[in-house]
Structure formats: structure tokens, C-alpha cells
Chain A
Amino acid sequence: MKTNNNKSNKWLIGLLGWLVACILFFPIFWMFITSFKTEVAAIATPPQLFFKPTIENYVAVQERAAYFNFAWNSVIISVGATILALLLAVPAAYAMSFFPSKRTKSTLLWMLSTKMLPSVGVLVPIYILGRETGLLDTRIGLIIIYTLINLPIVVWMIYSFFKEVPKEILEADRMDGASTYQEVAYVLLPLALPGIASTALLSIILSWNEAFWSLNLTTFDAAPLTAFIASFSSPQGLFWAKLSAASTMAIAPILIFGWLSQKQLVRGLTFGAVK
């Protein structure tokens, strides 16, 4: 009866796995469902699972014209910061992974340690610098800050992806007389492209969701979606359906990004500690 036993075991494990997955996903599911309810249905007792769906909340959020300003700010800031970080990180990671020196390891660790510097420690100076330079509440200001806070992780991830490219391929190409530019542009970058793409995705996700600097350094002009959503927190008002609709719109793009990239994402995130 061993096989039978295994079968029921498998069934149990499947049940448990799905139960855990559903519990973890439930708050997101509930938010999504609520966004299609009327405000009255959203706070009904007992909670309704079946109801006549409406898109009035999405229309209402869209009518708050500001929504698209916030969303556009989020896109510009997270993509801008990611491009800037990649431009800085790719050359550095290239040099460190293919031409390592005695200082390479300590440089990498030092970069990571800059992330240990708590943002609150430098909030006041950055706020004052921002005010003096006129970068407060501008997209450029947030792009610069996000580039700097994500740079260490971006360098690390690209470094570990470059490390995975077999040196022999590059060396063979070198024998054929390829120039450095050709080697990088036609051999290395295509090979490392999936890694660079997933690094970019992680950087976009982190920038999109960052709440400390965006809440403290922006008021309206450059405020991204994190600030838009936070504006719903002040009144204890019962407009959960609209809040749910706005939240769904705020997280949907990044959630889909995350789902698509989860496999590659984790490879870079492990910092080479998991083989």
C-alpha cells in the first residue's frame, strides 16, 4: 500500500500548498473584488462574495484627473532611475567581474554597506539640499535618490550575472580579433541580457514601491503613486471601493511585472550565495 500512501500524502501536500497560497494572496484578491463593489456593498455585513460588479469606482478614480499625474510620475521616476543606475552599474560590473583586482571584493561589500546607511539618518540634510537646489518635489530629485539607493543592488546583480557568462566564450572571441566594443556589444550583452532585464525589473519594482523618500520629499508636482495612495489614509472615510480601485490600478503593472520576472528575479537576488 506504499503507493496509495504516497498518493494521499501528495494530495495532502497539494491541499496545504494551495491553502497557504490562497491565504497569502487573499488580501490582494479581496482588494480586487472590493474594487468592483458599490461603496455600500463594500462595507456590508456580512461581507459579500457574490454581487453585481460595477466599474463606477474606476471611473470615479479616473475622473480625479490627478491620478494620471501620479501614475505618470511613478513611471518616469522608476524607469529613469533604473536607466541611470544601469548606465553606472554595467561598466563597473564589467570591470569587476572580468578584470577583478585585490580590491574588487571589498569594493562590492562597501557598496552594499552604503545601503545600510539608514535613510532617516540623512533625511534632514537631503531635505535641505533639495530645498537649496530646487530639486525638492521634482522628478529629477527622486530619480537621483532612487538611482543612488538602488545602485549597490544593481551592481551586485549584474556582477553576479556577468560572473555566470563563461570566460571561454569571451576569450575565444578575443582570439578572433574582436575589439572590446565588439566583444561587449555582440557577445557579452546578448548573453547577459536576461540578467540585465531582470535587474532592471527589480530596480523598477523597488523604485515603484519606495515610500520613505517619495512621501517625505514630494508634495504634488512629482508625487508618485505611493503618495497618491497615502492620501487615502487620512480620513477614516468609508470609501473602500474607490480606495480598492485606486490601489488595484497602482499595483497592477508592477504585480504583472513581478509575476513575469519572478524566476530570473530570484537568481540575481541571491547575491551568488545560492548556487
Chain B
Amino acid sequence: MTSVVTRPQPPSESKRRSSRKIPTLALVAPSVIVLILWMVVPLAMAIWFAFQRYNLLIPDNREFIGLGNFIFILTDPALWISIGTTLVLVASVLLITIGLGTLLAVLFNQDFPGQGIARVLAISPFFVMPTVSALIWKNMLMHPVNGLFAQITRGLGLGAIDWFTDFPLVSIIIIVSWEWLPFALLILLTAIQSLDTSQIEAARMDGAKPLQLFRYVVLPHLSRAIAVVAMIETIFFLAIFGEIFVTTGGGPGLATTNLAYYIYLKALLEFDVGGASAGGLIAVVLANIVAIFLVRSVASNLDT
């Protein structure tokens, strides 16, 4: 994280000093201090635990074992599978939400009757708690016997799909995409609305086709908004938990175990504090690698 923070500042940045004396440091300090504590204390504890054999079920057997936990975790095939699942999950949902979100933003930017109400309906999934949306999808839509999808496909004579058995990860991707598509839509729509209409008119005068218009005028204008959407979504997608918790429980096998769920299984089901801490640190490192890329790309787009 420090590599993100200590970006070199242009020395020429002018200091705007007000005539008024304000204890700015005292105003900013409380927020900064609690956040530092929130980062440093648990992280230091995680590092401390990660070098110990420490199982809550057999607390007397606690001892310093060096890199033992890391070796154990890093050679656990389940870890690598869960990292792969995490990356597939994050990448697929990012692609779906931003791709579809851009198209829908263009659509909802058009004027049509009842557009305001339609937009409110379309963004509603964002406000539904993950446990509820996962349960709706699992029971009422994707259930292999009584779910609506199964009823429809069976009615058409196509048989029924057992979503969470046959396509577990795809099912999770569908649910998370449904939850987050409205978020991408909202932000990208705002960005499109801020597009200068005279620019579009000018391009149209020059004979640009709608597709060219989209490719060379709209899309470049959206790049900053897309970066912001990608960053915020990635923060939340790396930690997807509730949806898996109430639907598949990480299974079948390891099919839907992402890194968050893997560590949860280690920590709260196997009571392996040392192993879970080592896994947690690996998650922190992974998140940092992603963060460096994302925060950098957003930072270069921000004017503070």
C-alpha cells in the first residue's frame, strides 16, 4: 500500500493559504489515525499469528514454527484453485457489468416514455442485500425443480438445468453481475449525460455512423468513468462472500471457493488461526498487486 501512497508530487504545486488559521492537521488527524490503527493492528497480528502453530481447538499446542504455515498454505492446491476462481470471478463480472453497463447507459440516455421509472427499476438490484439476492436466485429462479427457469425450460420441453450443480461458478457470476450491473449503469449513464452534445452533432455532420460515433466519441469520454467503476467494483468483488455463503458454500468441491471463502473455511471451520492468517496475508498481497494498478490508473485521472 505504501507504494501507492508515496507518489511523487509535482514540486510546483501552489499552496493556497487562507487568511484564516485553521488547525487542518487536527481536523484530518482523527480519520487518519483510526484508519492507520484499522490497518496496522490487525495486520501486525496476522503476521504474528502466521508464524505460529495456533489452532483454537488445541490452544496449548501453540508454538513458533517459522514459515511452516506459509509453506503449508502455499503448497495446498486448494489455495491456488481458490485464487484462480477469484480471478475468474472478478474478471468475468467486471467484463459483464462494464460491457453491458455501457450499452445500457447508451440506451437509457435516449429519451423514451417512462424513461425515469424504467431507470429506477433497472437500478433497483443494487440496493438489495447480497444474502437476499442470492436466496431469491437460488430458490425461486435457479431451483432445479420448482425454480422459474426450470419451469420455463421444462415447459418448452428442454428439460431443466441444475444450475448450482452443473454450472456453480456461472451461477455465482450471474447473481453478482445482476447485483452490480445497476451500479455500472448509474455511473456510466451520468458520464454519458455529461457528454457535450455539440460534439456528437459535429461528428454526425461529418458523416460519422452511429457505431463510429460510439467508438470514437462516446467511448473515449467514458474512459475515466469506466476506470472508477472498475476500481470500486474490484474492491468489492475481491471480497465476495455473502452470495457464496448462502448458495453453494464454496462447492461443489471447490468450484465456487474464492480466496475469501477459502480463508473463511480455514479460520472459522477448521479453527486454524495460523493457517488462516497466512492465507489472509496472501490475500492482502494479491489485493495490493491489483490495487497498485487500479489506484494508479484512477489517480492519474483525478484532479483534486
Contact = CB atoms under 8 A, between A and B. Distances in A.
Interface of A: 10, 13-14, 16-18, 20-22, 24-25, 27-28, 30-31, 34, 43, 45-47, 88-89, 91-92, 94-96, 98-102, 104-129, 147-148, 151-152, 155, 174, 180, 205, 208-209, 211-212, 215-216, 225-226, 229-230, 232-233, 238, 240, 243-244, 247, 250-251, 254-255, 257-259, 262, 265-267, 269-275
Contacts of A22: 121
Nearest to B6: A106
A116 B63 CA distance: 31
A110 B1 contact: yes
Contacts of B117: 21
Top 9 closest pairs, chain A to chain B, by CB: A211-B242, A14-B112, A122-B42, A258-B127, A125-B45, A121-B280, A95-B27, A21-B118, A209-B129
B190 interface: yes
A148 B135 contact: no
B141 to A, nearest CB: 6
A112 to B, nearest CB: 7
Nearest to A257: B127
A229 B5 contact: no
B239 A118 contact: yes
B129 A254 contact: yes
Contacts of B163: none
Contact of B291 (A16, A113, A216, A232): A113
Given A127-B267, A209-B130, A270-B187, A152 B139 contact: no
Given A229-B129, A233-B135, A265-B186, 18 more contacts: A22-B121, A47-B151, A106-B7, A110-B4, A111-B35, A117-B287, A118-B284, A121-B46, A148-B38, A212-B239, A215-B241, A216-B268, A229-B135, A230-B242, A270-B225, A273-B228, A274-B194, A274-B224
Interface of B: 1, 4-7, 9, 13, 15-20, 22, 24-25, 27-28, 30-32, 34-35, 38-39, 41-43, 45-46, 49, 104, 107-108, 110-115, 117-141, 146, 148, 151, 155, 178, 181-182, 186-187, 189-191, 194, 224-225, 227-228, 232, 235, 238-239, 241-242, 245-247, 259-260, 263-264, 267-268, 273, 276-277, 279-281, 283-284, 286-288, 290-291, 295, 298-299, 301-304
A208 B129 contact: yes
A263 B136 CA distance: 27
Residues of A contacting B: mostly: helix
Contact of A243 (B27, B126, B135, B241): B135
A112 B299 CA distance: 11
Residues of B contacting A: mostly: helix
Contacts of B242: 211-212, 215, 226, 230
A174 B103 CA distance: 48
Interface centre among A17, A43, A111, A229 (most CB of B within 10 A): A17
B104 A92 contact: no
A74 B191 CA distance: 33
Given A21-B119, A107-B28, A10 B15 contact: no
A122 B43 contact: yes
Contact of B20 (A102, A120, A174, A215): A174
A181 to B, nearest CB: 12
A13 B108 CA distance: 9
Contact of A30 (B131, B136, B235): B136
Given A120-B260, A124-B280, A30 B141 contact: yes
B124 A117 contact: no
Given A16-B107, A99-B18, A230-B246, A120 B239 contact: yes
A238 B139 CA distance: 9
A179 to B, nearest CB: 9
